[in-house]
């Protein structure tokens, strides 16, 4: 059973998931939430082939700052602050997320079910340990503040 969780975003480490940075916020039995930071001129693909075919994740995105261009199949969306987008639970191609603006784009993403169920991640501590074991970058809250203030 998962316990109640109260998280202050500014107190959470940042995890580098090439090309984006993210701060994992909540780990639930049926959902997971993070804040993602996409630096200017950066683009990423959300929804790997494995996720779309095997894990079948539903995602909700809520834009905090900046502007994103999202491509899902033939459809294109511009997502700006105070805008939400639901990516339905359905098999299909991954979707592209691009920050073509001059500022860092930040957005909250909620996944249901949580991604990568085989990892059985239930906390930031477990995630940090996994990153450390694989020599992946984790920045302290202070380092994240510094990183994001220079963009």
Confidence band of 56 (pLDDT split at 50, 70, 90): low
Q: Decide if pLDDT at 34 tops 90.
A: yes
Helix (H) or strand (E) holding 107: strand 105-112
Q: Which residue has the higher pLDDT, 8 or 72?
A: 8
Reference 69, options 44, 94, 97; nearest CA is 97
Look up the pTM and report it: 0.89
Domain residue extents for the chain: 16-116
- How many H-runs (helices) and E-runs (strands) does the chain carry? 3, 11
CA distances from 1 to 67, 120, 130 (A): 37, 13, 22
For residue 27, count CB atoms less than 10 angstroms from its CB and return exposed for 0-12, middle for 13-18, buried for 19 or more: buried
Residue 124 DSSP class: H
The matching CATH number, chosen from 2.60.40.10, 3.30.70.270, 2.60.120.10, 2.10.240.10, for 16-116 is 2.60.120.10
Q: Which residue has the higher pLDDT, 93 or 65?
A: 65
Sign of the CA dihedral running 28, 78, 12, 10? negative
Return phi, psi of residue 75, to 5°: -90, 145
| Residues contacting residue 62 through CB under 8 Å, at least 6 positions apart | 83, 84, 107, 108, 110
What is the tens place of the pLDDT at every residue in 82-138?
999 988 766 666 788 999 899 999 999 998 888 888 888 999 999 999 999 999 999
């Amino acid at each position: 059973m998962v316990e109640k969780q109260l998280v202050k975003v500014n107190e959470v480490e940042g995890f580098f998931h090439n090309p984006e940075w993210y701060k994992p916020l909540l780990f639930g039995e049926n959902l997971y939430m993070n804040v993602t930071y996409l630096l200017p001129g950066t683009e990423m693909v959300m929804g790997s082939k494995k996720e779309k075919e095997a894990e079948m994740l539903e995602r909700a995105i809520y834009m905090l700052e900046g502007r994103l261009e999202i491509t899902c199949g033939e459809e294109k969306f511009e997502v700006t602050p105070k805008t939400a987008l639901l990516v339905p639970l359905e098999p299909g191609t991954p979707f592209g997320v691009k920050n073509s603006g001059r500022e860092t784009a930040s957005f909250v993403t909620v996944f249901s079910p949580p991604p990568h169920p085989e990892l059985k991640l239930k906390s930031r501590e477990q995630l940090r340990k996994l990153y450390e074991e694989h020599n992946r970058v984790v920045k302290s809250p202070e380092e994240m503040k510094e990183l994001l203030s220079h963009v």
